[in-house]
């Protein structure tokens, strides 16, 4: 699974609970995109979550 290179956000695990209260495994995937980012004057491809992109922590190349 991809992990954000800026904030290390990744997958979270828990339980799906049905109406009868039976539990099965559930996975919440974070919204991580492969993006070209400006690093040290050059462009580099990184995995970045959309919240980091939106907040301006990363500048697109």
pLDDT tens-digit series, residues 22-45: 999 999 999 999 999 999 989 999
Task: Report the C-alpha gap between 20 and 42 in whole angstroms.
Answer: 55
Q: Residue 45: what pLDDT?
A: 96
- DSSP state letters, 1-61: ----TTT----EEEEEE-TT--EEEEEEPP-EEEEEEEETTEEEEEEEEHHHHHHTSS-B-
Q: What is the pLDDT of residue 59?
A: 93
Question: What is the mean predicted confidence (pLDDT) over 6-26?
Answer: 97
Average pLDDT of the segment spanning 1-25: 95
Q: What is the pTM of this model?
A: 0.78
């Amino acid at each position: 699974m991809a992990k954000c290179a800026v904030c290390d956000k990744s997958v979270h695990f828990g339980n799906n609970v049905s109406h009868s209260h039976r539990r099965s495994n559930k996975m919440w995937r974070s919204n991580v995109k492969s993006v070209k980012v400006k690093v040290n004057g050059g462009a580099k491809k990184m995995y970045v979550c959309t919240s980091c992109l939106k907040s301006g922590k990363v500048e697109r190349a």
